[in-house]
C-alpha cells in the first residue's frame, strides 16, 4: 500500500472507531485503552512533512518540472539570470544538477540532436562534433543523432556509448552555403513532421563546426530553448545585426528586440521546434518570392521568431562560446571551431 493510501485508511479507521466509542460507551475512559495502539499506528505511518516526499517509488512519474524547483539565480547575482518575461538564463552555478538528474532518472526522456554536415564541413568537422557529443551531450541519457550528409560513404566511424543511436540521412547539397543554411529549415520541418516528433521528447538543432568541451546536460531541456549569441550578450539591441529592411519577413524595427540569438543552437519539444522551423522556412520562401534575402539568412528569421514567440529558456554564452572573444572564459560547454571560411565555403 502506498503512503498516501495508508494515511487515508488510518484516518478513516480512527474516525469510525472514535464514533463508535462515543456512541456505545458512556464516558471517554472506556475508549482510552485503544489510544496507544492507534497512536502507534500513526507513528509507524511517518506522518511527517519531509518524510512523505522521500517515499516516492523509484521510476514513478513525478509532477511536471518547474524551473522554480531547480533554478538558482541568486547564485550569480553579478550576471543577468532572468529575462524580462521571467525565463531563466542558464549559467554554470544557476542550476541544481543533482535535483535535475534525479528528476530525469525517475522521468526518463529521449533527446534528439540534429546536425548537417555537407561538403567540406563533413570532411573537416563531423567526426569531432559527434565524438565530443558522445562524451558530453546529455551524459547518462538516451540520445538519437540525426545526421544529414551529402555523401554517406564519408560518415566517420565512432563507437557510440550506451543508449546512443545514429540515424544518418542523405540530403542534397545546395550550391551556396547560404542556401544550405536556409534550406535546413525545410529538411527539419519534414523530418520533425514525419518521424522525429514520435521518437524523442526534446530535440536540439546544432551547427557542425563546433565541439563539446564539458557536460551539456538536462539543465538545457525546455519547451523552447534559445542560445544567446556570445558576441552580443552585453550589447544594446540597437547594436544587434537584425534584418532592418521592412521588405523582409525577418524585419525587426530599430529599438526592438530582447537578445540576439544564435542559430547555431536551438531546441525544445518537437512541437515547438517544428513550429519554429516551419515559420522560418515560410519567411525564407516569402523573401525569395520578393527577391530579398535576409542579412543573416535563417538566423535573421530565427531572431524574428523569438521576438514574437519568447523562449522559455535561454542558454548563456557558456553553452556556445567563441574563443576569439577571449580565451579565459570558464565553464565552456560547447565552442566554435577555429576556421577559415574561405577553406570550407564554396562561395564567400
**Residue 322 in marked binding region:** yes
Q: List Cα–Cα distances, 103 to 90, 99, 111, 218, in angstroms.
A: 18, 6, 15, 10
Q: How many residues are there in the chain?
A: 348
**Residue 83 in marked binding region:** no
**Residue 208 in marked binding region:** yes
Catalytic residue, from 223, 299, 308, 343: name it: 299
171: cell is 540530403
Q: List Cα–Cα distances, 237 to 227, 253, 276, 320, 342, in angstroms.
A: 16, 10, 22, 20, 30
Rounded CA-CA distance 243/253 in Å is 8
* Parallel, antiparallel or unpaired: strands 261-268 and 224-228: antiparallel
Q: Where do runs of H (alpha helix) occur along 219-335?
A: 270-289, 297-308
Rounded CA-CA distance 289/46 in Å is 69
**Residue 269 in marked binding region:** no
Q: Does the active-site annotation cover 49? A: no
**Residue 109 in marked binding region:** no
Q: Is 65 helix (H, G, I), strand (E, B) or coil?
A: coil
Binding-site annotation: residue ranges: 121, 207-209, 241, 299, 322
Binding-site annotation: residue ranges for Mn(2+): 207, 209
For the annotated catalytic residues, the residue numbers are 299
Amino acid at each position: 500500500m502506498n503512503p498516501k493510501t495508508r494515511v487515508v485508511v488510518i484516518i478513516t479507521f480512527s474516525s469510525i472507531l472514535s464514533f463508535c466509542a462515543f456512541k456505545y460507551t458512556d464516558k471517554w475512559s472506556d475508549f482510552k485503552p485503544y489510544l496507544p495502539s492507534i497512536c502507534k499506528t500513526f507513528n509507524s505511518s511517518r506522518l511527517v512533512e519531509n518524510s512523505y516526499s522521500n517515499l516516492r517509488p523509484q521510476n514513478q512519474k513525478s509532477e511536471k518540472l518547474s524551473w522554480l524547483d531547480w533554478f538558482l539565480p541568486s547564485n550569480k547575482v553579478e550576471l543577468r539570470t532572468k529575462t524580462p518575461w521571467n525565463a531563466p538564463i542558464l549559467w554554470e552555478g544557476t542550476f541544481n544538477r543533482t535535483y535535475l538528474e534525479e528528476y530525469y532518472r525517475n522521468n526518463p526522456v529521449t533527446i534528439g540532436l540534429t546536425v548537417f554536415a555537407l561538403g567540406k564541413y563533413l570532411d573537416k568537422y563531423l567526426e569531432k562534433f559527434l565524438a565530443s557529443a558522445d562524451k558530453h551531450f546529455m551524459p547518462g541519457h538516451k540520445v538519437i543523432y540525426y545526421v544529414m550528409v551529402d555523401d554517406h560513404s564519408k560518415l566517420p566511424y565512432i563507437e557510440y556509448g550506451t543508449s546512443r543511436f545514429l540515424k544518418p540521412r542523405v540530403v542534397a547539397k545546395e550550391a551556396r552555403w547560404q542556401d544550405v543554411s536556409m534550406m535546413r529549415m525545410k529538411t527539419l520541418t519534414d523530418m520533425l513532421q514525419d518521424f522525429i516528433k514520435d521518437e524523442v521528447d526534446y530535440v536540439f538543432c546544432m551547427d557542425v563546426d563546433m565541439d563539446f568541451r564539458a557536460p551539456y546536460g538536462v539543465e538545457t531541456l525546455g519547451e523552447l530553448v534559445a542560445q544567446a549569441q556570445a558576441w552580443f550578450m552585453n550589447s544594446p539591441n540597437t547594436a544587434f545585426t537584425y534584418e532592418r529592411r521592412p521588405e523582409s519577413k525577418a524585419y525587426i524595427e530599430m529599438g526592438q528586440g530582447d537578445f540576439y540569438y544564435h542559430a547555431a543552437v536551438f531546441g525544445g519539444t518537437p512541437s515547438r521546434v517544428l513550429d519554429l522551423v516551419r515559420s522560418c522556412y515560410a519567411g525564407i520562401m516569402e523573401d525569395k518570392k520578393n527577391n530579398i534575402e535576409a542579412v543573416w539568412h535563417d538566423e535573421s528569421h530565427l531572431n524574428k521568431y523569438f521576438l514574437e514567440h519568447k523562449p522559455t529558456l535561454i542558454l548563456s554564452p557558456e553553452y556556445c562560446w567563441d574563443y576569439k572573444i577571449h580565451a579565459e572564459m570558464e565553464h565552456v560547454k560547447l565552442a566554435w571551431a577555429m576556421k577559415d571560411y574561405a577553406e570550407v565555403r564554396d562561395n564567400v
